[in-house]
Structure 1
Amino acid sequence: MRAKHITWHESKVTKEDRQRLNGHQSMVLWFTGLSGSGKSTLSVAVEKALFEKGMRTYRLDGDNVRYGLNNNLGFSAEDRSENIRRVGEVSKLMVDAGLITLTAFISPYREDREKVRQLFSEREFIEVYVKCDLRICEQRDPKGLYKKARAGKIKGFTGIDDPYEAPEDPELIIDTGKLSLQQSVETIIQHLRKNYDIS
């Protein structure tokens, strides 16, 4: 049920004020891809690289968020959509706070990712498609989830018996089956340097 009788209360400190204080634009880097593609590993490494350059950052990870904010959600299509909706709204708050926000979520459905994109101003949402062949993801299988899905112990697993809808026009494609972690990080940093004046 939607809340009624609510009014937006404006702040005396704006997003632009916070960006000025931080010395850089705020944005969200939205890492999407199959389980095992390297989203979390890459987002951790990119955050560390940005932090070491003096950037104000925060990272939201799919599993981590399910420990708290989204601990009442399962993995049905509806729950997955709600998971992404909530993370989108939290990311919007963090961008408003002046942070470079990194999110690592499978976020398998294009419609859900597009709804999140619509929450942001132009150039605030950077979709990073962490591309990786399913075969390689299964070989990596860091959490043993593909093995369980193939054995029928997990139902509705993305890439096995539930679809992953790859981005059609992402800002960045990082093929972790071909690039090393360092090469992947450098590709993202170079993109930010070129397009967002991040030194």
Structure 2
Amino acid sequence: MSQSTNITWHESGISKEQRRQQNNHHSFVLWFTGLSGSGKSTIANAVAKQLYNREIRNYVLDGDNIRFGLNKNLGFSVEDRTENIRRIGEVSKLFVDSGQVVLTAFISPFQEDRDQVRHILEESEFIEVYVDCPIEECEKRDPKGLYKKARSGEIKEFTGIDSPYERPQNPELVIKTGENSIEECANEVIVYLRSKNFI
């Protein structure tokens, strides 16, 4: 619930549909969710490059990068994780309103938080992509050394170790980064978008 008072919503003089027409493509969110080390950011950036090469305006919002700025005041408690995702949902909606494609790479471990983002967008604007990779493989990769720190107790409330990850119930896409290459996974996303005439 908003705590702001004495505010009025101002309608834009340019509609979302007009911006889409100018850009010559649909606007939507590709929401990549999965465990740390599953490949969310890698796949999101690979898809973004393919979209760019097709002259589709897009931007990647990466979980770590956002915490350097917009969300630098948030920790990793359940409440802060929820607020982290709420803010990203609102930022993503702005990108969609501007007629662009936004790709988000966030663990976003809780189904309720992901659903809240879905609900602030219109139908066909939220595409949940579950980056499905066994925790054993994620831990083997451990690109940031986080699993090792979590196992030693240096990091508390780490998703998959001492904090839960709720697998998406009905994602639009499931990509298996433990079985397929980066290129194959990115191509799966592009094929899906083409099948929906989004690109």
TM score, norm. by length of structure 1? 0.98
1:191 aligns with 2:192: yes
SS in 2 for 1:60: strand
Residue 61 of structure 1, CA deviation: 0.3
**AA at the equivalent of 1:56:** R
1:116-131 aligned within 5 A: 116-131=117-132
How many angstroms apart in 1 are the aligned matches of 2:85 and 2:117?
8
Partner of 2:46: 45
Matching residue's letter, 2:20: Q
Q: 1:90 to 1:121 in 2, by over 3 A?
A: same
- Aligned amino acid, residue 128 of structure 1: V
Q: Deviations over 1:130-158 (max 9, x none)?
A: 00000000000000000000001001000
SS state of the match for residue 196, structure 1?
Answer: coil
Seen in structure 2, the aligned counterparts of structure 1 residues 197 and 155 have a Cα distance that, compared at 3 Å, is closer
Dislocated runs of 4+, deviation >4 Å:
none
Q: Which secondary structure state, in structure 2, belongs to the residue aligned with residue 186 of structure 1?
A: helix
Query: 2:168 is matched with which residue?
Result: 167
Percent identity, aligned pairs only?
A: 61
Deviation digits for residues 145-188 of structure 1 (CA, Å, limit 9, x no counterpart):
00000001001000000000000100000010011111101100
Equivalent positions of 1:47-126 (< 5 A) are 47-126=48-127
Distance 2:135 2:197 in 1: 32
Distance 1:185 1:115 in 2: 26
Q: Deviations over 1:2-31 (max 9, x none)?
A: 110100001110000000000000000000
SS of 1:118's equivalent in the other structure is helix
What does the per-residue CA deviation read over 1:69-122, in whole Å, with 9 as the maximum and x for residues that have no partner?
Answer: 000000001000000000000000010000000000000000000000001110
Uncovered stretches (5+) of structure 1, i.e. residues with no partner: none
**One-letter amino acid matched to 1:4:** T
Give the paired residue count.
198
SS of aligned partner of 2:120: coil
Q: Which runs of 5+ in 2 are unaligned?
A: none
How is 1:9-20 mapped onto 2 (pairs within 5 angstroms)? 9-20=10-21
Distance between the aligned counterparts of 1:18 and 1:58, measured in 2? 16
> What is the alpha-carbon distance in structure 1 between the residues aligned to residue 197 and residue 114 of structure 2?
22
- Aligned-pair Cα RMSD in Å: 0.7
> So what's the TM-score if we normalise by structure 2?
0.98
CA displacement at 1:196 relative to structure 2 = 2.5
Report the equivalent of 2:179: 178
